[in-house]
Structure formats: C-alpha cells, structure tokens
Structure 1
Amino acid sequence: MQTENTPPKLFDQVRERIRVKHYSIRTEKQYVQWIKRFILYHGKRYPQEMGVAEVEAFLTHLAVEGKVSASTQNQALSSLLFLYKEVLLIDLPWLNNVVRAKQPQRLPNVLTRTEVRAVLVRMSGVYGLMANLLYGTGMRLMECVRLRVKDVDFERGEILIRDGKGTKDRVTMLPESLKASLQAHLQQRRALFDDDTRLGKASVYLSDALERKYPNASTEWAWQYIFPSGSFSLDPRSGVERRHHIDEKLLQRAIKKAVQAGITKLAMPHTLRHSFATHLLDSGYDIRTVQELLGHKDVQTTMIYTHVLNKGGRGVRSPLDM
C-alpha cells in the first residue's frame, strides 16, 4: 500500500510525466508497453542498473527475433529515451549515441482519380462522408476522427485542424460538394447531443488546460465531436463516462472493404491523403500551398509527391512510343 512518504511506482511516474507533457493517451499506452517489455526482457532488472548494452540488446532482439519494422524499433527507443531522461532524470551520454534504425525510403502509394472514385462510390453514410473528407481535405485519419463542431466554418469554406502532427494547427478547405452532406450529418449529430444533454451525459473530453480555461465548454455544442461513438465509455484517465469520438478502426475497415471491392491496389485511409497531395500538384498547384494544406514542417517532405508524378521514366516519353 502506497503512503504519502512512499515514492510512486515506476509506471505511475511514467504516466504522470507523460501527462505533464500533454502527450496523448495513445503515446502513454505505447511508452508504458515498451518500457514493460524492456524490463521483462532483462529479467525485471531496475532500469537504473542497465545501460547502452542492454538497450541495444533489446532493440536487436526486436529487429532479429521480433522482426519489427524500423519505425516500431524507433518507437521502442523513443520510449526508453523518455524513461531515462524525463522520468529517471538520468543524463546518460550514451543515450544520444544509440543508432536509430534506418527507415526505408519508399514512394507513397497513390490512387488515380478513377480509382479514388471507385472506392468512394462504394461507401455511404458516416464512413462515406469521412472517407470523402480524407480525400477532399488531405486530413490524416485521426485529424478527421477528432474534428469538433466549431472547427468547421461553412461560410468561409474551411476546416481548422487543431493539434495536428507536431501539435500544430492548420487550415484546409471544406469541399463545396460535401457541405450539404456535412450539414445534414450535423443536424443528426445535434439531435444526439440534445438526447445526451437530457441524460446528463453531454460532457466531451477536453485537455486539462482547456478544462481549466473553459470550465463549461465540455458540455457545449461547439466542442462536441462531429463523428461520435455509438455508445458511452469510461475515460481511462479521469474515469468519467461520456461519448468519445468514433473508433478509427471502424473507418479503416470500411475503407478496406471498399478498396477490396473496387480496385486491385492496396490502399488505406492515409492513401487518400497521398492521393489528395499528388492530384493537387498534378493540377498545377504550387508545392508550398500543398505543403501548408498537409501541415508538413519541411517542404522536402512534400517533395516526395513530385517523385510520384514523375514515376515511369521521370515523365520522359519512351522512344518506342515516339
């Protein structure tokens, strides 16, 4: 039993530090999982007793025996870096010298306009609306799932994406062709919100900072998720029962089903974002504009879509066809 003088357990310290730094619940779960695996792999030894040899042995085990991808291996390393630097406050020079796995440089998978239409025409309802938004705005999957009512401006024809990758805000367009569908969806969403209000369960998740700044915002219409879950659930951090946003896995499955029925390529929700960028560049839009719409920090990241456009001999016509 923990008393006032007893220091919190290691994983409680990890969670507390993650929340102080305002990391997402997903990051919290992933970091705790990797730290647990690291400790168990080395026979439940205390992290303070281990060093570079143990970290490298664990990462090697993941790559060789676990056959994890480079991104997964780097995620495990990031978790251990967080443990030592942020939680244990141990400044170990060797941490900065641990080599991250090199991720393969691959061109993004992109659908043609015809293929996009073949996928979207096979989707309807909420999932169809969300899939159209992914392609029509260039949003990431979780950016779409987490949209709130106040983030859509129908008069200006734009969507404000808050806390995107890198905790950055940005603005993208609201496609004219989706305005009527989205407004109709919001009418149904308002009816659900009114029902939740009568039940006293209209509260929605807000970060600690926002809850302190706007104490009544969690039960206001403007802050509600546009695409809500079909049921109530317990917040894993606060324990409050409320309606969260829709589970992204449901949209992923719906898109996968439409892809399998419509085209032969492999595609996922993020493929629609890749297609959005490539089709804009193909239509002659400036790469800096596309960079801003995608929320890329570096234009070099956006430049990869120019390579997709040049695929097939870099746009050069074969002499056999001349």
Structure 2
Amino acid sequence: MAPSKPPRLLDQVREVARLKHFSLATEKSYVYYIRDFILFHNKQHPKEMGAPEIRAYLSHLAIQRNVAASTQTVALSALLFLYRQVLDIELPYIENIERARRSQRLPVVFTRSEVKCILANLDGIQHLIVSLLYGTGIRLIEGLRLRVKDLDFEYHQITVRDGKGQKDRLTMLPG
C-alpha cells in the first residue's frame, strides 16, 4: 500500500473548523481569507510566513481593497485560527495594522408602513416567516429552521435551537 499524502492545508482548515463546530458560513469565510492570504503572498506556505506578512495582508485589505472593519476582523480571525489551531504556531501580538474605518452610516430600518406594505405582498409560508423575523428579531436561518415543537403558545415564547454559537435561546412569540 502506497503511503498516503497528508491532507491539503485548506482541507485541514475545514476539518479543524468542523471539529470545533464552526458554522458553515464561518468555515467558508475562513477558507476564503486563508486562500486569499496565500495568493496575496504568491502562494507561499503560511509556515514560511508570520506576523509581518499578516500585517501586510490586513493593511492591503484596508487600504487597497477598502473593506469594512468587520471584514478585516474576520480575515484576522481566520489567519489567527490557521496559525493557532491548524498549524499549531503561536504568533506574537501583531502591531501597527492599518485598520479599516468603521462605517459612520446608521442602519436602515423599515417604517411600520413599509413593513405593512411588504407583508401585504406576501402570503403563505413567506408571510409567516417574514412576520416572525420582524416580530421576534431572530436571524433568517433561525426562522427557517423553526419547527412546530419550538413554538410555545401558552407561554408566548419561541425556542431558537442551534442559533449563533450553537446555543439555544428563548425569545417572545409576538401577537
């Protein structure tokens, strides 16, 4: 039997992310930024790089790509995950990163009349789900995963299972 090749780096990232029960969205984001980091440094292996290369990449994201501050934070988290959890390399504190600017815009929120107009154009399951999202503030994926057993009409509450961070929580059931 021929010796098997060790798994590719991004496959290792996926495996560790799944062992740590990361959401699929987090796993995909991490793989994307790790791959982008490697490509940014001309396909150099991360074991051959360190804090200066991470600093250069994150500064590139902020300056040249003009990404949002939260996007830059996700990229940093992905790289720290790669080094600490996958490669088992402890990095020194990374200083002097050019930080992306936080958005000064206020979030856009629908008025009650706009919500009524949207709900008036929906029916069936879509109307039910959008009404629950609006009335409870739960995330879209949480609303789509709801089951009948999660609704408690006596106590007017909804059990949100496996929400963000794989946690269950209770929220109110709107009238």
Q: Which has the higher contact order (CA 8 A, sep 6+)?
A: 1
Query: Cα deviations across residues 160-219 of structure 1 (Å, max 9, x unaligned)?
Result: 01232333322112234xxxxxxxxxxxxxxxxxxxxxxxxxxxxxxxxxxxxxxxxxxx
Distance in 2 (alpha carbons) for counterparts of 1:101 and 1:84: 22
Tell me how far 1:128 sits from its aligned partner: 1.5
Contact kept in structure 2, 1:137 and 1:175, CA below 8 Å: yes
Give the counterpart letter for 1:51 in structure 2.
G
Tell me how far 1:86 sits from its aligned partner: 0.6
Give the counterpart letter for 1:20 in structure 2.
L
Distance in 2 (alpha carbons) for counterparts of 1:173 and 1:142: 17
Distance in 2 (alpha carbons) for counterparts of 1:106 and 1:75: 20
Contact kept in structure 1, 2:62 and 2:72, CA below 8 Å: yes
Query: Cα deviations across residues 43-91 of structure 1 (Å, max 9, x unaligned)?
Result: 1111011122211221222222222222112111111010001100101
Contact kept in structure 1, 2:61 and 2:67, CA below 8 Å: yes
Residue 49 of structure 1 is matched in structure 2 by: 48
Tell me how far 1:20 sits from its aligned partner: 0.8
Residue 272 of structure 1 is matched in structure 2 by: none
| 4+ runs deviating over 6 angstroms | none
Residue 157 of structure 1 is matched in structure 2 by: 156
Tell me how far 1:98 sits from its aligned partner: 6.4
Task: Report matched runs for 1:213-228 at 5 Å.
Answer: none
Residue 24 of structure 1 is matched in structure 2 by: 23
Contact kept in structure 2, 1:137 and 1:172, CA below 8 Å: yes
Query: Cα deviations across residues 204-252 of structure 1 (Å, max 9, x unaligned)?
Result: xxxxxxxxxxxxxxxxxxxxxxxxxxxxxxxxxxxxxxxxxxxxxxxxx
Unmatched 5+ stretches in structure 1:
177-322
Distance change in 2, residues 1:87/1:98 (3 Å)? farther
Task: Report matched runs for 1:70-85 at 5 Å.
Answer: 70-85=69-84
Distance in 2 (alpha carbons) for counterparts of 1:98 and 1:154: 53
Distance in 1 (alpha carbons) for counterparts of 2:144 and 2:105: 27
RMSD (Å), alpha carbons: 2.2
Tell me how far 1:106 sits from its aligned partner: 4.5
Distance in 2 (alpha carbons) for counterparts of 1:127 and 1:98: 48
Normalising by structure 2, report the TM-score.
Answer: 0.86
Residue 276 of structure 1 is matched in structure 2 by: none
Q: Percent identity?
A: 55
Give the counterpart letter for 1:32 in structure 2.
V
Distance in 1 (alpha carbons) for counterparts of 2:74 and 2:173: 34
Query: Cα deviations across residues 125-183 of structure 1 (Å, max 9, x unaligned)?
Result: 2222111111111112221122233222234332101232333322112234xxxxxxx
Residue 173 of structure 1 is matched in structure 2 by: 172
Contact kept in structure 1, 2:38 and 2:45, CA below 8 Å: yes
Give the counterpart letter for 1:45 in structure 2.
Q
Tell me how far 1:22 sits from its aligned partner: 0.3
Give the counterpart letter for 2:136 in structure 1.
T
Give the counterpart letter for 2:65 in structure 1.
G
Residue 112 of structure 1 is matched in structure 2 by: 111
Contact kept in structure 2, 1:74 and 1:101, CA below 8 Å: no
Identify the range of structure 1 (79-88 vs 157-166) with the bigger mean alpha-carbon deviation.
Answer: 157-166
Normalising by structure 1, report the TM-score.
Answer: 0.49
Tell me how far 1:92 sits from its aligned partner: 1.2
Give the counterpart letter for 1:72 in structure 2.
T
2:166 is paired with a residue whose SS is coil
Distance in 1 (alpha carbons) for counterparts of 2:44 and 2:111: 53
Tell me how far 1:105 sits from its aligned partner: 5.3
Give the counterpart letter for 1:146 in structure 2.
R
